[in-house]
């Protein structure tokens, strides 16, 4: 079966500030990533997605761009970048850049010109609006980071839209000159060898041009997946700024650019939406993006087989070509380990089984998957004091919302060096949690039963298994809190079985197939899994892949 890497890509997300520091200033950099490419290649992934490393005042740590085509000096220079791309390709890894095309920094020359007058050549490159009759903002739209989504500019005597920080003004995607300029920045990097783009908050590109108020959220209306229960941003239904139908009409221009460079991947982040699954499906329809990801698996409520069955059933209906990219977390969400653990109800052995089950689930689901750095180690969410916070979102909303610093602490490479081997500087930009040292790469390398080595085995098996390269997925009814589905076509099929129970279960295999030769065990999460007399026995949180 010919493999298009985009169909079932396993992508490793790197947050460069926290991955590896090569110049000992306490901040990770491009040369640090280069040093650790052998580690990533050995994990068995297809590609790396690197969070922003282009020029930025760093008010939102790179997601506020002041020059799309220059490297931020703290991360290196163009030579560092070009060497990284070359060495990644030599290691068999694709390179995805994070492109922040919804907004720029207020220090970007485009915005500086746009704010200078109402009639300059770039006057309409951002979203400007007149004050309301009382002199206040044009409407009730809120910024995702807190407060109003509008900032008043004294020079133009108008408000500009910012869905995030006030220092991150939104580009006006209705302006064809803006879209052309954005495409040119994409072409700049494609010409330099990148294999695709992760598109930050792609469903925010367009806004409601009537500037109508957002309606209040009904008291009985659920909040979107991943939304904080106390986050005031979700007190309204944010229809004016999120997942506008106009955005879908603009995406073919991005796809046309990507298609000029065969094999290029466009991966879209679908964020802060009312129905992230349905919205993501619309973004990957023919001629738009190749893949999209959302917050469906980003929850602090431990899933049961039944809730996952419902989710997967809906996704199979909406994504017939498996164009969903599954992820348990990114740099924007609390750590997987802190959300899905037993919260003290399980002993250490069961916690470890649960970790392995989740790794196997990510590997077995139809479509692509994304692994955030450190999740393969089982890193926990870091608990930081207010004085240690660096995230503007967390600082502004403390203590109701703790922000994103807890999932952005440095990678622990070894347990016998200061700062876990991340940097030789006296201190890192965020502290290294002491409990992370016990989970360091060096320590897990030497333990064949570690979570890191389990991820390695699973990812390599996934890549080598034709049944997991697209094809059909058949979902079976839940039995005894066990999720079961079959992947593949013809003779190349694999039955994926996940026990979400803390008890041993025994399943009859006859309901899953009419085959007469029976099943045999392939990959499993435990030596205790076995097939006997047409039955599968799975230990607590056990996983088995059957052929």
- Give the count of beta carbons closer than 10 Å to the beta carbon of residue 329: 25
Report how far apart, in Å, the C-alpha atoms of 263 and of each of 5, 194, 434, 523 are. 8, 10, 42, 30
**Cis amide linkage into residue 399, ω under 30° from 0:** yes
3-state class of 532 per DSSP? strand
- Catalytic site residue from 29, 200, 405, 454: 200
Instruction: Give the separation between CA 538 and CA 547, rounded to whole angstroms.
Output: 16
DSSP labels, 400-415: TS--SGGG-SPP---S
Instruction: Give the separation between CA 193 and CA 213, rounded to whole angstroms.
Output: 43
* Four-CA torsion 223, 219, 237, 211, nearest 10 degrees: -160
Residue pair 171/102 in contact (Cβ under 8 Å)? The answer is yes
Find the DSSP H helices in 406-450. Answer: 434-437, 441-445
Is 260 a catalytic site residue? yes
Helix or strand (DSSP H, E) at 482:
strand 482-489
- Catalytic site residue from 154, 260, 348, 491: 260
Residue 21 structure tokens: 């520091």
Instruction: Give the separation between CA 141 and CA 98, rounded to whole angstroms.
Output: 26
| Residue 121 Cα to chain centre, angstroms | 36
Closest CA to 247 of 217, 206, 285: 206
Is 269 a catalytic site residue? no
3-state class of 486 per DSSP? strand
Report how far apart, in Å, the C-alpha atoms of 541 and of each of 377, 491, 524, 538 are. 18, 28, 11, 8
Residue 488 structure tokens: 């593949």
Angle at 333 between CA 99 and CA 408, to 5 degrees: 75
**How far separated are the first and last CA of the chain, in Å rounded?**
18
Catalytic residues: 200, 260
């Amino acid at each position: 079966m010919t493999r298009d890497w985009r169909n079932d890509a396993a992508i490793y997300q790197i947050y460069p500030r926290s991955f590896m520091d090569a110049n000992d200033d306490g901040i990770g950099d491009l040369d640090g990533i280069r040093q650790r490419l052998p580690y990533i290649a050995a994990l068995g992934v297809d590609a790396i997605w690197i969070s922003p490393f282009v020029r930025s005042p760093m008010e939102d740590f790179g997601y506020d761009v002041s020059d799309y085509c220059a490297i931020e000096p703290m991360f290196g220079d163009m030579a560092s970048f070009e060497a990284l791309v070359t060495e990644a390709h030599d290691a068999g890894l694709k390179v995805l850049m994070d492109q922040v095309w919804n907004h720029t920094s207020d220090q970007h020359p485009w915005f500086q010109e746009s704010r200078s007058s109402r009639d300059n050549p770039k006057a309409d490159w951002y979203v400007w609006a007149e004050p309301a009759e009382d002199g206040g903002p044009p409407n009730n739209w809120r910024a995702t980071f807190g407060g109003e989504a509008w900032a008043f500019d004294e020079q133009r005597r108008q408000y500009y839209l910012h869905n995030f920080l006030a220092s991150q003004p939104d580009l006006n995607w209705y302006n064809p000159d803006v879209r052309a300029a954005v495409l040119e920045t994409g072409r700049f990097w494609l010409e330099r060898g990148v294999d695709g783009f992760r598109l930050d908050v792609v469903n925010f590109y367009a806004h409601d041009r009537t500037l109508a108020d957002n309606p209040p959220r009904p008291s009985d209306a659920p909040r979107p997946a991943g939304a904080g229960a106390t986050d005031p941003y979700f007190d309204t239904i944010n229809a004016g700024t999120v997942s506008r139908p106009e955005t879908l009409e603009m995406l073919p221009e991005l796809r046309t650019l990507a298609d000029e460079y065969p094999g290029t991947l466009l991966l879209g982040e679908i964020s802060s939406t009312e129905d992230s699954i349905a919205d993501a499906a619309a973004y990957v329809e023919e001629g738009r993006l190749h893949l999209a990801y959302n917050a469906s698996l980003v929850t602090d409520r431990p899933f049961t087989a039944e809730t996952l069955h419902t989710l997967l059933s809906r996704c199979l209906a909406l994504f017939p070509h498996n164009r969903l990219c599954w992820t348990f977390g990114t740099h924007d969400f609390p750590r997987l380990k802190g959300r899905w653990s037993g919260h003290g109800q399980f002993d250490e052995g069961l916690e470890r089984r649960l970790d392995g089950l989740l790794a196997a689930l990510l590997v077995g689901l139809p479509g692509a998957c994304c692994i955030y750095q450190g999740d393969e180690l089982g890193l926990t969410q870091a608990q930081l004091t207010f004085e240690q916070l660096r995230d503007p979102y967390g600082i502004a909303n403390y203590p109701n919302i703790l922000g994103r610093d807890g999932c952005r602490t440095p990678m622990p490479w070894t347990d016998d060096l200061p700062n876990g081997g991340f940097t030789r500087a006296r201190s890192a930009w965020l502290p290294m949690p002491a409990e992370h040292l016990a989970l360091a790469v060096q320590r897990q390398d030497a333990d064949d039963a570690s979570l890191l080595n389990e991820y390695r085995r699973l990812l390599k098996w996934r890549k080598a298994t034709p049944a997991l390269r697209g094809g059909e997925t058949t979902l079976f009814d839940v039995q005894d809190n066990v999720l079961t589905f079959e992947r593949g076509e013809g003779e190349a099929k694999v039955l994926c079985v996940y026990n979400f129970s803390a008890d041993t279960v025994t399943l009859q295999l006859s309901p899953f197939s009419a085959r007469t030769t029976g099943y045999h065990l392939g990959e499993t999460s435990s030596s205790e899994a076995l097939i006997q007399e047409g039955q599968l026995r799975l230990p607590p949180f056990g996983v088995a892949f059957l052929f």
